[in-house]
């Protein structure tokens, strides 16, 4: 297999580990919208009648004010959230607020209803594509918690693959089948390893804790043998990369 093929294989195998927020499903917010029968009136309504000044939706800055239904072609204008109308007992009262809408409802033939929009801003492109089916959204710039594989060089990918293969091999001799490698990314060398060896006497000896403990021992040894001064030793795993075969933090056994 060529080097290019190896690189592409590694790129397809490596997946970014996303945060809970980046993996979350859509959460809905009830909003008041109005059907605008004549789309040509949208601009005037937004500027004079139903502006952000009258209906601020700061918590929904990711939601666009206008939505066109693909099936029917009808156009809806978002006014505000239902939470903002708690003082009103019904939509009918909103229609009767002539101080805000002088003759607007009769002139523009507006019709109010309640619809749902995404309550929170999408963080990933997948969330954006899925949630936008409900209502048009804006995707704000967001730094993904884990860089995508496309940002790494060929050499970095080869190192990642090699260290992960070592971690997998080490997991085969672990009691719970979980192993961990701590790597110094500046030198691309293994600083310490860890294996899950949880027993009733040692319920917290999972791979990551074992690896951190071994890093501490390694750093103490460097100070003891005077390879480094105490002030030169970094705090445990700060700045290191961690490779682990499972992200499970606590394992329970019934042995």
Q: What is the pLDDT of residue 104?
A: 65
pLDDT tens figures, 169-195: 999 988 888 999 999 999 999 999 999
Smallest CA-to-CA distance from 104 within 124, 77, 128 is with 77
- Domain 149-244 - what CATH class? alpha beta
In angstroms, the CA 78 to CA 76 distance is 7
Residue 101 has pLDDT above 50, yes or no: yes
Average pLDDT over residues 202-215: 88
Q: What is the pLDDT of residue 249?
A: 46
Phi, psi angle pair for 14, to nearest 5°:
-85, 125
Give CATH for domain 26-131.
3.30.70
Q: What is the pLDDT of residue 172?
A: 92
Give me the residues paired with residue 89 across strands.
Answer: none
pLDDT tens figures, 133-160: 999 999 988 877 677 777 788 888 888 8
In angstroms, the CA 194 to CA 203 distance is 15
Fold agreement (26-131, 149-244): no
Q: How many CA within 13 A on the CB side of residue 142?
A: 19
pTM over 0.85: no
Instruction: Kindly indicate the confidence band of residue 122, based on its pLDDT and cuts at 50, 70 and 90.
Output: very high
Residue 95 has pLDDT above 50, yes or no: yes
Which tokens go with 37?
A: 């029968």
Instruction: Kindly indicate the confidence band of residue 247, based on its pLDDT and cuts at 50, 70 and 90.
Output: low
Average pLDDT over residues 5-32: 80
Residue 254 has pLDDT above 50, yes or no: no
Q: What is the pLDDT of residue 251?
A: 45
In angstroms, the CA 137 to CA 132 distance is 6
Altogether, the residues listed in the chain come to a count of 255
Q: What is the pLDDT of residue 255?
A: 39
pLDDT tens figures, 32-87: 888 888 878 778 777 765 656 666 677 898 999 899 988 888 899 888 888 877 65
Residue 91 has pLDDT above 50, yes or no: yes
Cα of first residue to Cα of last residue in the chain, in angstroms, is: 46
Q: Which residue has the higher pLDDT, 172 or 248?
A: 172
Q: What is the pLDDT of residue 137?
A: 96
Domain boundaries, the chain: 26-131, 149-244
């Amino acid at each position: 297999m060529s080097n290019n093929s190896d690189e592409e294989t590694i790129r397809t195998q490596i997946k970014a580990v996303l945060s809970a927020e980046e993996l979350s499903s859509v959460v809905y917010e009830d909003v008041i919208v109005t059907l605008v029968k004549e789309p040509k009136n949208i601009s005037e309504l937004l500027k004079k009648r139903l502006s952000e000044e009258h209906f601020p939706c700061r918590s929904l800055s990711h939601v666009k004010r206008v939505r066109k239904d693909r099936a029917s072609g009808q156009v809806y204008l978002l006014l505000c959230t239902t939470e903002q109308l708690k003082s009103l007992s019904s939509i009918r009262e909103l229609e009767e607020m002539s101080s805000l809408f002088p003759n607007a409802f009769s002139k523009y033939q507006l019709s109010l209803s309640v619809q749902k929009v995404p309550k929170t801003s999408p963080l990933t492109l997948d969330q954006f594509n899925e949630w936008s089916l409900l209502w048009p959204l804006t995707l704000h710039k967001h730094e993904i918690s884990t860089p995508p594989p496309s940002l790494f060089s060929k050499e970095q990918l080869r190192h990642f693959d090699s260290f992960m293969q070592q971690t997998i091999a080490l997991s085969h001799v672990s009691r719970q089948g979980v192993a961990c490698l701590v790597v110094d990314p500046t030198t691309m060398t293994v600083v310490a390893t860890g294996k899950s060896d949880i027993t009733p006497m040692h319920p917290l000896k999972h791979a990551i804790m074992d690896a951190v403990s071994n890093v501490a021992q390694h750093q103490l040894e460097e100070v003891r043998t005077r390879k480094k001064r105490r002030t030169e030793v970094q705090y445990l795993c700060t700045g290191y990369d961690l490779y682990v075969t499972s992200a499970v933090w606590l394992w329970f056994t019934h042995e």
